[in-house]
Chains A and B, each alone.
Chain A
Amino acid sequence: MVVDIIDIGSGNIRSIQNWIERVHIATRVVTKATDIKSDFLILPGVGSAGSYMERLKKSAFDQAIHEHVQNNKRLLGICLGFQLMAESSEENGGIEGLSLLKGQVKRLDKKISHNGWENFNFKKEELSNQSFHSMCKLTRKKRLNGRVFFNHEYGYLNQDEQSFSKPISEKYPNHSSMVVKDKIIGMQFHPEKSQFTGLELISMIL
């Protein structure tokens, strides 16, 4: 198995590679939309939403991501990558997202950003209604109790009752920390910087 990671010149690609390779899965950094080949694609995200979306469109990655999903392959969006899978984001005065997930991205609070660690508890069986569930074969681990690292000012508000959505915390009950819909998974936190919990999580979803 090889995991493709989209690289449009933003940061933290190296961290994503390190994270995946720690569970002995090979990675390939993809800089051209036509080079996506893997069944598992990662859309990382660092930067401001408007600029990132513009670069995705300019390099035709937006179409390539849609084709990847239409071909019934798995997609993981991280942080801004997750937010851009929504229908829209109010960042940068409002932008249109990839509309892969039915939800909106809104500012958490005018004065507050969410930088820090939150408890994260997750049972694999919670995904049983999503086709993603049957494709996770790297480990038999069924339960995860740990903590994950957040660094964001905007958050995803899920509007799809059919999807699996986990809230960030009691303080942010309406914003999702993780969403799974069919073969798409989105994480608002940084699993690649969530230490032991991040490692356990990747082994549960690959």
Chain B
Amino acid sequence: MRTGATILLKDGRCYQSYQWSQIRPLGSLQNIINSLEEYQCDEVAIIRLVRKDDCREALNIDLRLLQQVNTMTPLSFGGGIRVSDDLDLLTALPIERLIFSTAFINKNTDLLNQATQSYGRQAIQCLLPVKYSQGRIEIFNCQKNTFLAIDDVDFDYINTHANEVVLLDTQNEGLHDKFDKEIIKGIPLDENKLIISGGISHNIIRWAKEVNLASALIDNKVLHQEHSIMSYKHA
């Protein structure tokens, strides 16, 4: 199983996030990635903080920053990639994998097919921000800024088009040892294509290895203490 980190990006700056509501500035993207690479972080997911007010100019600012990143660590990137023209802006970036969220919720097959042509199917990841509450799972629709019932999401479609699926526990994002394992039980996808993020701890990583998940992405904890990625990897 891979052990990586999640970095949030907004208007050319990195942030850490708490429970999908509060954000705090973090520092330079290059510095964060350098530190994670020094401690052999397996992968880094760079996710733009996107809500319904996202625009092309905000995307361009983040892309210009990402374009300058020099790293030998595998990167995935997503957030706000909504139309085919956006894909043309990504080819100069040092990234291997693309993360889509709204495109999977809205079943934007043209966009996903074009991304698959350009990057390969192995490069397509689906991000599902998830909330588990009172026995129910809800999925966040970034474009509409609202949660959907799990029954409104077509998991067969996701399974067909996504190589891996990132499940971000929105309620426990930024907290320690809080990732809700019930989320995995309620998502009808093979465990070996699932990546978890939000509330990750050593205990959660040990459990994730037992249930054969693809990867765990640590957020704030590892961004404060980059060296700790080594202990997470060997949890």
Contact = CB atoms under 8 A, between A and B. Distances in A.
B119 A115 contact: no
Interface in B68-95: 70-75, 90-95
B203 to A, nearest CB: 22
Given A11-B91, A152-B122, A48 B117 contact: yes
Nearest to A147: B40
Contacts of B143: none
Nearest to A114: B122
B71 A18 contact: yes
B163 A115 contact: yes
Interface residues of B, number: 34
The DSSP consensus for interface residues of chain B is: loop
Interface in B137-182: 163-164
B74 A149 contact: yes
Contacts of A196: 40, 72
Contact of A116 (B42, B75, B93, B96): B42
Q: How large is the interface on A (under 10, 10 to 19, 20 to 34, 35 or more residues)?
A: 20 to 34
Contact of B97 (A13, A47, A151, A153): A151
B120 to A, nearest CB: 5
Interface of A: 9-15, 18-19, 22, 46-48, 51, 80, 111-113, 115-117, 149, 151-153, 190, 192-196, 198-199
Q: 6 shortest A-B CB distances, which residue pairs?
A: A15-B94, A51-B117, A14-B94, A193-B74, A18-B70, A153-B122
